[in-house]
Amino acid sequence: MTGNTKPGKTKHGAAAGETARPERADWTIDQGWDSYTAEEHGVWKTLYERQAKLLPGRTCQEFVSGMADLAFPTDRIPDFRRLSDVLMQRTGWQVVAVPGLVPDEVFFDHLANRRFPAGHFIRKPEELDYLEEPDVFHDVFGHVPLLLQPAFADYMQAYGEGGLRAQKLGVLPNLARVYWYTVEFGLIRAPEGMRIYGAGIASSFTETRFSLDSPSPNRIRFDLARVMRTQYRIDDFQETYFVIDSFDELLRLSEVDFGPVYEAVKGQPDHDPGDVLESDEVLTRGTGEYHAAKRQAA
Ligand code: HBI
Ligand code: FE
């Protein structure tokens, strides 16, 4: 998922979110790599070059080395089979193609089986900075590099397993916030300083800078129960980023039983995306100026 979601049309003309009924029960399709047009490969090239220049020094070392090990082509959309060869050997993951967003239980089942479902289509050249649905640039460039990290790879599988369980318990919104504030929009306090690891940030030219450089957002130490209670923004930059200290912190999360935490947050009021609490370990207290200006203009 991405920070900039707007209703719109996919390249096949279906409205976002109403993809036609799939042929296969797991919603996978062939990537159809041979069918990409020169213009579509060109969009990857533009996005790739922009991000590859911006990310060093901003994203964590693990992300940079994941990119290098995957040897993404710079000038065309990657072939998922090549990516899966590398992933399978290193962490037992695969990339499979899907038409776009898939139902929650389908998504979880893929992750629980170490398959990452990636949108096969790419955004249009005139829409480089907005996304209605996760496309191949967000899903592959943003998500796949960290799947080469064993701790992160296990965390993603655990999320898939936990998702199926959270659905049964009726607490999926709480778990989805954990995914959002880690996998999609997480920051990490690396030895060299504050760095990006979330795919929604790493695949976004504008949010890469906002998340690290802007005085506007809060940056708060990650806390599981706190994050489970915190609403998020899907249509704009985040008002708050939650910061982990290491990928081992995520690995430990994948080992704890969320059951008691769900119990503890049940019936408690939600926090707004920009709230700062007495109990927070605040790393940067944001000015909130970016979202305040937007609200004023609205
Ligand atoms: N489908 N393709 C795709 N990608 C996602 O990130 C995704 C999805 N379906 C459901 C979903 N994410 C989330 O709503 C769950 O993590 C809760
Ligand atoms: Fe995503």
Residues 203-230 pLDDT 10s: 999 999 999 999 999 999 999 999 999 9
How far apart (Å, rounded) are the C-alpha atoms in residues 203 and 51? Answer: 7
Judge whether residue 2 has pLDDT over 50: no
Rounded (5°) CA angle 34-37-38: 115
Helices then strands, each counted (H, E), the chain: 13, 7
Q: Which residue has the tokens 């990490």?
A: 188
> Where is pLDDT greater, at 11 or 192?
192
Residue-range definition of the domain harbouring residue 123 = 33-297
* 50 occurs within a structural domain: yes
Burial pattern 130-162, b for ≥16 Cβ within 10 A else e, equals bbbbbbbbbbbbbbbbbbbbebbbbbbbbbbeb
Q: Which distant-in-sequence residues (6+ apart) come within 8 Å of 49 by Cβ?
A: 74
Active site residues: 138, 143, 184, 203
* 27 occurs within a structural domain: no
Ligand 1 close to Cβ of residue 183 (< 6 A): no
Residue 102 CA: nearest ligand 1 atom is: 1
Query: What average pLDDT does range 38-59 have in this prediction?
Result: 97
Judge whether residue 13 has pLDDT over 60: no
Ligand 1 close to Cβ of residue 111 (< 6 A): no
Q: What is the mean pLDDT of the chain?
A: 92
Q: Which residue has the tokens 């607490």?
A: 171
Render pLDDT for 50-71 as a digit per residue (tens, 0 to 9): 999 999 999 999 999 999 999 9
Q: Copy the structure tokens of residue 273.
A: 């995306």
User: How many domains are contained in the chain?
Assistant: 1
Ligand 1 close to Cβ of residue 107 (< 6 A): yes
Local confidence band at 23 (pLDDT 50, 70, 90 cut-offs): confident
Judge whether residue 15 has pLDDT over 90: no
Reported pTM = 0.93
Residue nearest to atom 3 of ligand 1 (CA): 101
Domain of 179, CATH number, reads 1.10.800.10
* 191 occurs within a structural domain: yes
Query: What average pLDDT does range 33-49 have in this prediction?
Result: 98
Residue nearest to atom 11 of ligand 1 (CA): 104
The answer to whether the Cα torsion of 271, 158, 92, 100 is positive or negative is negative
Q: How far is the CA of 278 from the centre of ligand 2 (A)?
A: 31
* 28 occurs within a structural domain: no
Are 154 and 212 contacting, i.e. CB atoms less than 8 angstroms apart? no
* 266 occurs within a structural domain: yes
Amino acid 131: pLDDT: 82
Render pLDDT for 90-132 as a digit per residue (tens, 0 to 9): 999 999 999 999 999 999 999 999 999 999 999 999 999 878 8
